[in-house]
Amino acid sequence: MILSENFLQALAAGLMVGCLYGLMCTGLGMIFGIMRVINFAQGDLMMLGMYSTWYMFAGFGFLAFLGTYAGPIAGALLTGPLLFVVGYYMHKFLIVHVTGLRTSDSEGEGHYAQLILTLGIALILQNGGLILFGSEPTSIRTPMSSSAWVIGPLWGDFVEVFINQARAVGAIVSIGVAVALFFFVTRTRLGKALQASADNAEAAIYMGINVDRAHHIAFGIGTGVTAIAGGLVAFYYPFQPYVGIEFVIVMYAGVVLGGFGSIIGAFWGGMIIGLVQQMSTLILPIQLQNTAIFVVFLLVIFLRPQGLFGRNVERV
């Protein structure tokens, strides 16, 4: 009985964390999966999302009047547009030099430049964050962080599953944002233009789409969505300026696992990573939770040799 209670508890936690990871991956999915830009700084942009949510709700506190439920949620959602702007201009002034048509003739080279440029951005954000925010772990403390809804008792009186409110609220908002993004990309005119530009920039130019701008927007949206996920994670997870690196692996593992070019796929990929992480606590010590993710990540990329960019038959 104890075993099944632990199992159900881990399953519930995995599903909720999975929704949050899913949303994070959806953001990276826009950038890496669809635009095929490697953004190493995605985790650090997410860290900015966490701090921005914290500042809006607690630091400057202008959202505090909304109360302890609506306030943080509004903070996380408002973080989206804020980081959209950051992502838009970061792409416009920096990333654009190493992506898109400019590098289309040197596929491999382009990716190396992206990796290294965004590594530099990541270092600036992490350490700039340290200067601005300090190294003290921060968290968005609300009553929901520490309270739970109880499901049960199930099977007679023995099994009760505790649902942490902060995670549950985060998971629900995540699903909402992911669904909204999905409809935006697949149903609206702008969304389709973004997808077209990301998928085949050259063809999109001939269709009269302003591809450069579309890329800025897509990068901005990817950044904003991941930042919202960061804000939601901050409800229950203490963070500091170096928190991004832990999540970069989570995100890439999810996106690769979910398959390229699909926003829905990225969400499910993140979900699986969340489940693996939480379920691993059943058999592994808690410190090795993240090691389990790395193992899954390595398995994922080993079992997909060549990756998606590597063509199988190169014209030689």
Partner 1 sequence: MERRTRILRSLGILATIGVIYVTLVFLAPDQYYQLMLTLVAVWAVMGISWNTLSGYSGLISFGHAAFFGLGAYTVVLLQVHWGITPWIGIPLAGCVGALAGLLIGLPSFRLRGHYFALAMLAYPLALLYIFEWLGYNEVAIPMERTNPVAYMQFGDMRIYALLAFVLLSLAVIVGVLIESSRFGLSLLAIKQNELAAEAAGIRTLRWKLYAISTSGAIAGVIGGFYAVILLVVTPPTVFGMLTSAQALIVTLFGGISTVWGPVLGAAILIPLSETLHAELGNVLPGIQGVVFGVAIVLVILLAPEGLIWKLRDFAMRGRETDVEDRLSAADVADPGPLPDRPHALTGPVLLQVENLSKSFGGLQAVQDVSFDVPEGSVIGIIGPNGAGKTTLFNLLNGFQAPDRGRVVFDGEDLVGLRPSGICARGIGRTFQVARPFRRLTILRNVLVGAYVSAETDEIALQHAREAIALVGLEGHEDRIASGLTSMEQRLMELARALASKPKMLFLDEILAGLGQTEVNRMIHVIRAISDNGTTILIIEHTMQAMLRLADRFVVLDHGALLASGPPAEVVKDPEVIEAYLGKRWRDRA
Contact footprint for partner 1 (CB under 8 A): 38, 94, 97-98, 108, 111-117, 119-131, 134-135, 241, 245, 248-249, 252, 285, 287-288, 290-291, 294-295, 297-298, 301-302, 305-307, 309-310, 313-316
Report residue 141: phi and psi, to 5°.
-85, 115
**73/125 with CB nearer partner 1:** 125
Nearer to partner 1, 64 or 288 (CB): 288
In three-state secondary structure terms, 97 is helix
Nearer to partner 1, 81 or 120 (CB): 120
Number of Cβ within a 10 Å radius of residue 305:
8
Taking the complex as a whole, how short is the minimal distance between the CB of residue 128 and partner 1, in angstroms?
6
The residue count for the chain: 316
Nearest distance in Å: CB 290, partner 1: 5
- Among residues 19 and 248, whose Cβ is nearest to partner 1? 248
How far apart CA 182 and CA 185 sit, in angstroms, is 5
Q: What's the min distance (Å) between Cβ of 260 and partner 1?
A: 12
Nearer CB in complex with partner 1: 105/157: 105
**C-beta of 256: minimal distance to partner 1 in Å?**
8
Phi-psi category of residue 136: left, alpha or beta, with phi > 0 → left and psi -120 to 50 → alpha: beta
Task: Assess contact for 38 and 32: CB atoms under 8 A.
Answer: yes
175 close to 183: Cβ distance less than 8 angstroms: no
Angle of CA points 17, 43, 294, to nearest 5°: 65
Q: How far is the CB of 305 from partner 1 (least distance, A)?
A: 5
Minimum distance of partner 1 from residue 20's CB (angstroms): 20
Quick check: 23 and 252 in contact, CB under 8 A? no
When the beta carbons of 189 and 315 are compared against partner 1, the nearer one is 315
From residue 238, alpha-carbon distances to 40, 94, 123, 163, 271 in Å are: 22, 30, 20, 18, 21
Which CB, 77 or 272, lies closer to partner 1?
A: 272
State in angstroms the smallest separation of the CB of 94 from partner 1: 7
- Residue that is written with structure tokens 């796929």 in the block: 265
What gap in Å lies between CA 74 and CA 85, rounded to an integer? 18
